[in-house]
Amino acid sequence: MKQTLSLIPLALLAACSSQSSPDPEPSADETVSVTPAPPVAPEKTAPASDPAPSVNTLTLAGLGDLRIGQAVPSGSRWSAEGAQASDMCRVISSPDYPDAYAIVEEGKVRRISVGEGSQVKLAEGIGPGASEASVKQYFPFPATPHKYVDAPGKYLTAPNAASGDPALRFEIGSDGKVSQIHVGTMPVLGYVEACS
């Protein structure tokens, strides 16, 4: 039985070797040496110094538990306060995000906006109060005149805003600094007065 078991690996080795090999097949008495493969290095992960987005980071996906294109989550602290323009369009806010609000149309979040009193920023570190030059360093968006603020007031809107995907829009005030940042989908992204 012992001799039969030792021949099985050799038979497998012989079956796996090429038929045209000039090397003779090993006999039952020969020892076959196998070198183990070197250990595989573990996959590299992101360094611990790369911070995950904080709850005060505005992204194209949303802010905190609020997501563009989705309903306001149940149990969320975002809610409508005061008179609303209509049942179809509501403006909501959260005590967790001072000077930030969101526009909800047809039951889904369509835009999130942060203003000058907000601590919320983009991942690039740009927030309300940033200079137009710092915005253009990361976002060289085309400019259009501001509806209510004289030059240098303007809107800087992502060129892909009309695609239907979430996009960015900056409002630049008369001092040349960001007065508001908006993330959302058109046409709501372009509203100049909350729900209109």
Angstrom distance (rounded) from CA 7 to CA 68? 66
pLDDT in tens, 16-50: 444 444 455 555 555 545 455 444 444 333 333 33
Q: Is residue 123 part of a domain?
A: yes
Provide the number of structural domains found in the chain: 1
Q: Is residue 26 part of a domain?
A: no
Comparing 10-14, 58-62, 169-173, which segment has the lowest mean pLDDT? Answer: 10-14
Residues spanned by the domain of 162: 62-190
Q: Is residue 27 part of a domain?
A: no
CATH of the domain at 155: 2.60.460
Angstrom distance (rounded) from CA 28 to CA 8? 10
Please classify residue 15 by burial: count the beta carbons closer than 10 Å to its beta carbon, then call 0-12 exposed, 13-18 middle and 19+ buried: exposed
User: Would you state the pLDDT for residue 66?
Assistant: 95
Two structure tokens written together for 71:
């309903």
Q: Is residue 38 part of a domain?
A: no
Q: Is residue 89 part of a domain?
A: yes
User: Would you state the pLDDT for residue 4?
Assistant: 43
Q: Is residue 48 part of a domain?
A: no
> Mean pLDDT across the chain, nearest whole number?
80
Provide CB contacts within 8 A for 160, sequence distance 6+: 167
User: Would you state the pLDDT for residue 1?
Assistant: 46
Cα atoms in the 13 Å half-sphere on the side-chain side of 36: 3
pLDDT in tens, 76-118: 999 987 666 677 899 999 999 999 999 999 999 999 999 999 9
